[in-house]
Amino acid sequence: MRVGFRLNGARLSLAIDARTTLLELLRDVLGACGTKRGCDRGECGACTVIRDGRPVYACLTLAASLGDAAIETIEGLVTPATGLHPVQAAFAACDAVQCGYCTPGQIMSAVALLREHPRPTDRQIEEAMSGNLCRCGTYPKIRRAIRRAAKTRHAS
């Protein structure tokens, strides 16, 4: 079957097997390996991407369901003109990474959160990030990075 969608702003049209997940499409077909494969069951959040403004697990999303969706991945956040996205910069500044495996999914969830709630409360941060596991336990630094990114975005 054919699927057409936008990936980080670029329009794509591909022939795929109807059973292909978005995660498989991104990593195995398109080579966009920033989206991590974790549990393949929607439990860890390592594969989180943004679909039409909302965070979704790529491992649970069938590529056939994309329609004309806009998909954003970690690769789409950095631009030559602006450099790191404010959330990426805040994660680096706050040392909000340990092993780094969960970081792309954490960042994508945080970006979606800040778009919806530019000045999130601690409760909103906790709720938005609840679907992303960090096996290294870096949660306090991740929350600090999100608060920093929110302040940075408002200062600019």
Q: Are residues 129 and 71 in the same domain?
A: no
Q: Are residues 131 and 150 in the same domain?
A: yes
Q: Are residues 64 and 95 in the same domain?
A: no
Q: Are residues 28 and 71 in the same domain?
A: yes
Write down which residue in 30, 51, 76 finishes a domain: 76
Count: domains in the chain: 2
Residue 156: pLDDT over 50: no
Write down which residue in 76, 105, 137 finishes a domain: 76
Residue 154 is predicted with a pLDDT of 64
The region that residue 70 occupies, defined by phi over 0 for left and psi between -120 and 50 for alpha, beta otherwise, is: beta
CB atoms within 10 A of CB 67: 9
Residue 151: pLDDT over 60: yes
Q: What is the mean pLDDT of residues 39-58?
A: 97
Residue 81 is predicted with a pLDDT of 87
71: nearest Cα among 40, 131, 106, 112 = 112
Rounded distance between C-alpha atoms, residue 154 and residue 156, angstroms: 5
Residue 139: pLDDT over 70: yes
CATH of the domain at 69: 3.10.20.30
Sheet with 54-57, side-by-side order of all strands: 10-15, 2-7, 70-72, 48-51, 54-57
Q: Is residue 81 part of a domain?
A: no
pLDDT single digits (tens) 73-127? 999 999 888 899 999 999 999 999 999 999 999 999 999 999 999 999 999 999 9
Q: Are residues 53 and 106 in the same domain?
A: no
Residue 34 near residue 71 (C-beta atoms within 8 A): no
Q: Is residue 125 part of a domain?
A: yes
Q: Are residues 7 and 67 in the same domain?
A: yes
Q: Are residues 7 and 69 in the same domain?
A: yes
CATH of the domain at 136: 1.10.150.120
Residue 62 is predicted with a pLDDT of 98
Q: What is the mean pLDDT of residues 45-59?
A: 98
Q: Tell me which residue range forms the domain holding 96.
A: 86-155
